[in-house]
Amino acid sequence: MIELINIGRQFGDVWAVRDLNLTINKGEFCVLVGTSGCGKSTTLRMINRLIEHSAGEIHIDGQPIRGFREEVLRRRIGYVIQNIGLFPHWTVARNIGLVPRLLGWKPERIAARVDELMALLGMSTERFSGKYPRQLSGGQAQRIGVARALAADPDILLMDEPFGALDPLTRDGLQDELLSLHHRLNKTIVFVTHDMDEALRLADRLVVMHEGRVRQQGSPIELLREPADDFVESLLGGNSRGLKEAALTPVSQRMRPAAVTSDAPVIEATKSLREALSLMLWHRVDHLNVVDGVSKNTVMPADPAHILGGLKLADIVTARAPVGAPGGAQP
């Protein structure tokens, strides 16, 4: 658990963060969002003492972080940034093994951990371990940055706009991988982004900051439905909040138990209502068959063996799942 208690950070006469209170539970994916200069990156860096807090206390598992030596604290917390920070003259394997070497791990244990992490992130050890950062694509380099942050198996992972410089396709793929990693490894993740769609897709808890303070926090669905004020509503998309909520709601929550019609276009049950609406608009229909994901055919007719149910336009626009229902992308 991470606790920020009345935290403040002052730069000269300016308070970048003031009176900030936030509790991040073990295993939670917490995303900090807000306009530029709102204090979200400063808050992230105070957790691992890259920036010292000027007021208040920060606790990790009940212990004040100033009770840890700085280097020990930082080795316990994985840290990923936008420009990755890989050492250009080191191979991929050596970059990943940095923290374990500092911790005195034996070479064979480091090598095994490098192999494990590269496999976890879908990168062949034989193909990539001997490469240098300049030989990697942006997405590949960012995967190595994540692997390096996870190398010593930290409980906490801090990520400061890690996908901000990547193209949309690569970014979407890495978001999927990060969600999958989170579900498998149960790490506590604190993630900073300026991209609201990314924040809504990833967060268990969404924290909106403004002028150094927390303006509102809660699940993405809670904030979309009940923004605290005009600022939060605007940041979340204003009149497009309905579409953003649809992007978080899986088709499985709204489908009917039987197929609507045998010749309707199909959509997988794990896809979002926003994708279902787009498919309806594209095919000029008001109903879809919902399939189990085994069938790769997205047009008609669907294989009856794979049909789970049906979805009508009315199911999207009239029904509403309860606030506590799960949202976000599925691993």
| Phi (first) and psi of residue 279, to 5 degrees | -65, -40
| Beta partners for residue 287, in sequence order | 312
Query: Which CATH number goes with the domain that contains 259?
Result: 3.90.1280
Contact at 8 Å (CB) between 311 and 283? no
Q: Are residues 256 and 205 in the same domain?
A: no
Does residue 287 share a domain with residue 209? Answer: no
One domain, residues 74 and 200: yes
Give the list of residues 6+ apart from residue 320 with CB closer than 8 angstroms, or none.
none
DSSP helix, strand, coil percent of the chain (3-state; round to 5):
40, 25, 35
pLDDT at position 138 is 86
CATH value at residue 177: 3.40.50.300
User: For the chain, how many structural domains are there in total?
Assistant: 2
Residues 99 and 193 in one domain: yes
Same domain, yes or no: 310 and 202:
no
Please indicate, yes or no, if residue 133 is contained in any of the structural domains: yes
Q: Length of the chain, please?
A: 331
On whether both 133 and 270 belong to a single domain, the answer is no
pLDDT of res. 173: 87
Does residue 62 lie within any of the structural domains? yes
Residue 329 lies in a domain: no
What per-residue confidence (pLDDT) applies to 189? 95
Residue 43 and residue 177 in one domain: yes
> How far is the C-alpha of 27 from the C-alpha of 20, rounded, in Å?
21
Phi-psi region for residue 36, left (φ > 0), alpha (ψ -120 to 50) or beta?
beta
DSSP string, 58-70: EEETTEEGGGS-H
Q: Answer yes or no: is 77 within a domain.
A: yes
Residue 331 domain-assigned (yes or no)? no
Q: Is residue 79 part of a domain?
A: yes
What are phi and psi for residue 50, nearest 5 degrees? Answer: -65, -30
Task: Specify the pLDDT at position 329.
Answer: 37
The answer as to whether 321 is a domain residue is no
Of 212, 242, 272, the residue at which a domain comes to its end is 242
Residues 101 and 33 in one domain: yes
- Same domain as 134, residue 115: yes
Residues 180 and 80 occupy one common structural domain:
yes
Q: Could you tell me if 297 and 318 are in contact, meaning their C-beta atoms sit under 8 angstroms apart?
A: no
Place of tokens 């920020």: 4
CB contact at 8 A, 232 and 270: no
Domain that holds residue 256: 250-314
Per-residue pLDDT of the chain (331 residues; tens, 9 = 90+): 999 999 999 999 999 999 999 999 999 999 999 998 899 999 999 999 999 999 999 999 999 999 988 878 887 899 988 777 889 999 999 999 998 998 889 999 999 999 999 988 888 888 999 999 999 988 888 889 999 999 988 989 999 998 887 888 888 888 988 999 899 889 999 999 999 999 999 999 999 999 999 999 999 999 999 999 999 999 999 999 999 999 999 999 999 887 666 678 889 999 999 999 999 999 999 999 998 875 455 555 556 667 888 999 999 987 665 555 444 433 3
Which pLDDT belongs to residue 321?
A: 58
Residue 9 lies in a domain: yes
Claim to verify: residue 274 and residue 168 sit in the same structural domain: no
Domain end call among 194, 218, 242: 242
Same domain assignment for residues 37 and 160 = yes
